[in-house]
Amino acid sequence: MPVNTAKRREDIIDLLCEHGSVRVEQLSKQFAVSTVTIRNDLRFLERKGCALRAYGGAMLNQQFAFDRPLHDKGRLNRDVKSQIACRAASYVRDGDALILDSGSTTAQIVPWLKPRRDLVVMTNALNIAYELSGYDGVEVMVLGGSVRQNSYSLYGPAAEQQLRQYRFDKLFLGVDGFDLVAGITTPHPGEAHLNRVMCEVARENYRGSGCQQVWSQELLHDPRSRANSSADHR
């Protein structure tokens, strides 16, 4: 049975995010509507900045995926993110002091931390702090600052100043994108500044992305050498 227009277009967005591209003929069969209707849908999504039309179908507009609200990002590449989160958590040891950056991939690390004991976790993500607050073996520290609504994250000079007072064993940094010249990228300048400080105060940096176009299923490990290698987090 055909679904209503708004629901169909939302489902097409999900397919674009999951596969990176869609075909008109395939969508026509899947949603039981004409190819004309599907082409109209794709034109609409292109105007909204979600898609880029191509011959016979459309591709995901990467800029659209780059800065979507967190609840939308959580629906993208779930299996990839779950694998990354599991692998990331395997590096955590009892007694570690961690930074968990905001993001849909880093948020999936949280459930894997439940068996750990005597952890200290600093985060700039309200959703991560809320979930961790129910864990007996975790001391949760939350950065202050301004709230970025799309990601439930905190940023700003106050957060940077607060973070510089501590040293941590490991940082798990969410990655929005990767540029061959600029390296790791984020669409928000305030978060970019805070991410730099996070990298400075952690001995080991782990950077991963759930986006298939960026290090598919990889977690990059960057051990940082320091004059004082012990974590001073209390």
CATH classification for the domain delimited by 5-66, as one of 1.10.1200.10, 3.40.50.150, 1.10.10.10, 1.10.10.60? 1.10.10.10
pLDDT number for residue 10: 83
138, burial (CB in 10 Å: exposed 0-12, middle 13-18, buried 19+): buried
161 Cβ neighbours under 8 A, 6+ residues apart:
none
pLDDT number for residue 76: 56
- Per-residue pLDDT of 171-229, as tens digits, reads 998 766 554 455 555 666 788 889 899 999 999 988 765 544 333 333 444 444 332 22
Cα 234 from Cα 218, distance rounded (Å): 31
pLDDT number for residue 213: 33
Long-range CB contacts for residues 213-218, cutoff 8 Å, separation at least 24: 213/20, 213/62, 214/175, 214/177, 214/178, 215/175, 215/178, 216/80, 217/80, 217/83, 217/84, 218/84
pLDDT number for residue 55: 93
Structural domain boundaries of the chain?
A: 5-66, 70-223
Measured from the Cβ of residue 32, the count of other Cβ atoms closer than 10 Å reads 11
Of residues 224, 206, 222, the one with CA closest to residue 84: 206
pTM to 2 decimals?
0.61
Which residues of the chain fall below pLDDT 50? Answer: 1, 70, 74, 179-180, 211-234
Tokens of 209: 């992305």
Q: Fold match between 5-66 and 70-223?
A: no
Asked whether 201 and 173 are in contact (CB, 8 A), the reply is no
- In the three-class reduction of DSSP (H, G, I as helix; E, B as strand; rest coil), residue 143 is classed as coil
Q: Which CATH class is domain 70-223?
A: alpha beta
pLDDT number for residue 23: 96
